[in-house]
Amino acid sequence: MVEWRNWPGYVPYETALAAMEERVARIAAGEADEAIWLLEHPPLYTAGTSARPADLTAPDRFPVYSAGRGGQYTYHGPGQRVAYVMLDLNRRGRDVRKFVHGLESWIIAALARFNVVGEVRPDRVGVWVTRPDKPPMADGSPREDKIAAIGIKLRRWISFHGIAINVEPDLSHFDGIVPCGIREHGVTSLVDLGLPVTLEDVDLALRDTFEDVFTPLRSEDSQPAT
């Protein structure tokens, strides 16, 4: 059973990180169910384990946190739906690549509820949308913008951190970093694409599509963490 929780208000990053650490430990010990937490943070930047200092272009703009997850610099803030995903891969298959693909597929399925075509690229993390309304790249290829980010960490095969979907954030806040180290493409949001979508709409889409990707666990799926 997966516990879903909506956190009210703007949740301080330290609060969410400490709560995730505690929950992951309890899941690993068999004392708590898997969980998905939906929340917003105040404006901040997080640095993943591959973050390059040169990609933090405005270090004094917002607080910067070392996240401990994979990836590079990411922005979180109001109008962005963060979903922290704490699933037990001991019971779902110890396959990191498959898990990341599942997160990508989940985001794409949720975006499809709003008739948005999300896509992944082998050389870029996250989920992207093609922007035919913008000038093409120098090589003539269509411009693409990132609409969702993915960053995870595993401890004893329990996942934490997760995904972030841009619903209606202030896109200028991304200017203080090179998002995920990618300079040649931009970022977008559902509202930037002209869609009157709310955080609550996205929450519903995430919940409705979750089990299309992540099959509910059965008691016989249990496997002890090592």
Query: Residue ranges for the binding site for substrate?
Result: 69-76, 149-151, 162-164
Name the residue with tokens 């917002």: 62
What phi, psi does 204 have (nearest 5°)?
Answer: -65, -40
- Residue list for the binding site: 69-76, 149-151, 162-164
Nearest CA to 59 among 42, 45, 76? 45
Separation between Cα atoms, residue 47 and residue 12, nearest integer Å: 16
The number of angstroms, rounded, from the C-alpha of 27 to the middle of its chain's C-alpha atoms is: 20
Whether 79 is catalytic: no
End-to-end CA distance of the chain: 21
Annotated catalytic residue within 16, 107, 180, 182: 180
Nearest in space to 223 (alpha carbons), one of 176, 178, 167, 156: 156
Three-state DSSP at 166 gives strand
**Residues with Cβ < 8 Å from 47, sequence gap 6 or more?**
56, 64, 65, 66, 67, 72, 73
Distance CA 153, CA 68 (A): 7
Where do we find the tokens 């970022």?
Answer: 187
Specify burial of residue 60 (Cβ count, 10 A radius: 0-12, 13-18, 19+).
exposed
Active site residues: 180
